[in-house]
Amino acid sequence: MATPDKNGTPSIDSVSLAIIEQLQEDGRRPYAAIGKAVGLSEAAVRQRVQKLLDQGVMQIVAVTDPLTVGFRRQAMVGIDVDGDLDPVADALTAMDEVEYVVVTAGSFDLLIEVVCEDDDHLLETINKRIRTLPGVRSTESFVYLKLRKQTYTWGTR
């Protein structure tokens, strides 16, 4: 099970990790099949999965290839911020084009990934929406030419 540690972070046991691994291989795998693989009943797997979902340990989602659904341009954007990072991070989080926001310790204060329809959409997003946010000092864009690897299995290594 996932029980909170002293910091309130869920600590996940080996059976729950095995369930997560099964779902990472196939998010539609039946609970009965997962139960057989991890040594639990279907009902016990269902309960554990629901608890992991309720605790925010995992999500079960459909992952698409952006190119196949009309998004032709992806980029990583490094952002330098003057002052408090939180308002800028919150504003970026609210943008549909922004897939994730990471507060970093390094060359940039924030790293974000954006997914856009095309180069014009990317330019508009960076120039008119990101660079105009109060507190944004500068940006540096890293346009994706080819995605070579993207996995979601790091949760069980």
Which of helix, strand or coil describes residue 30?
Answer: coil
Q: Is the pLDDT of residue 67 over 80?
A: no
Note the CATH number of domain 14-55: 1.10.10.10
- In the predicted model, what is the mean pLDDT of residues 107-125? 96
| Statement: residue 147 has pLDDT above 90 | no
* pTM reported for the whole predicted model: 0.76
Percent of the chain, pLDDT > 70? 91
| CATH no., domain 69-143 | 3.30.70.920
pLDDT at 139: 98
Spans of all domains in the chain: 14-55, 69-143
